[in-house]
Amino acid sequence: MYKVFVNDVPIMLSTEKQIGKEYTNIPIKIARLKKIIKKIKKGKLTYVNLYHKKEEKLFKHLKRKLPVVVAGGGLVYNDNQEILFIYRNDKWDLPKGKIEKNETIEECAIREVWEETGVEDLKITKLITKTYHVFKRNGKLKLKETWWYEMHTPYTGELTPQPSEGIEKVKWKNFAKSQKALQGSYENIKLLFPKEYLTMHPNDRVGI
């Protein structure tokens, strides 16, 4: 099962015709995706399951319906086990961006982290997952496929937000502050973190 986010509402892609009573279940092959997305954005639809009996066909059909933009990003740790966050559009987020011509996805992820934060000496430690979300560019809906990598850096220098990308702040956050930041982050970003980052006792909600 996969999740494709429209804002913070996930469209489920599955091999099951029924995944819950609250879901609207539609064969992905005949799904009118733009109409579905419009209803989700208007709050008229919140539970959607697009299904196909063959798992490998799910994204094949989805990518026929929406042009795909491939991006790379990083969940970056430093030597103090702090995590690198950026702040834009009133939310804490992680650095990421679109792949360039003749660039590998790993090179893209490292370059985008550096450009958006100023952090250097980045080393990829593993691929975490791929996330998917729908966005609009120049009036057209597109599907962003983001490859997320866990990274490490010994960097202790200045953090430099990239204003041209709308980034207002860059911060290293410890475990507790990362938990707080994630409370107001995007649902697809939360997928990158272990469960312990997504639970917090109310008394631990310190300033960020």
Reply yes or no on whether the pLDDT at 203 is more than 50: no
- Please name each of the domains of the chain with its CATH number: 2-65 (no CATH), 68-204 (3.90.79.10)
The CA distance from 91 to 85, in Å, is 10
Position 205, amino acid: R
Instruction: Give the pLDDT confidence of 28-44 residue by residue, as tens digits.
Output: 999 999 999 999 999 99
Distance of alpha carbon 9 from the chain centroid: 12
Instruction: Give the pLDDT confidence of 106-141 residue by residue, as tens digits.
Output: 999 999 999 999 999 999 999 999 999 999 888 899
pTM of the predicted structure, to 2 decimals:
0.89
**Confidence at 206, pLDDT banded by 50, 70, 90:** very low
Reply yes or no on whether the pLDDT at 178 is more than 50: yes
- What's the pLDDT score for residue 201? 44
Q: Where are the alpha helices (DSSP H) in the chain?
A: 33-41, 55-65, 105-117, 175-183, 187-190
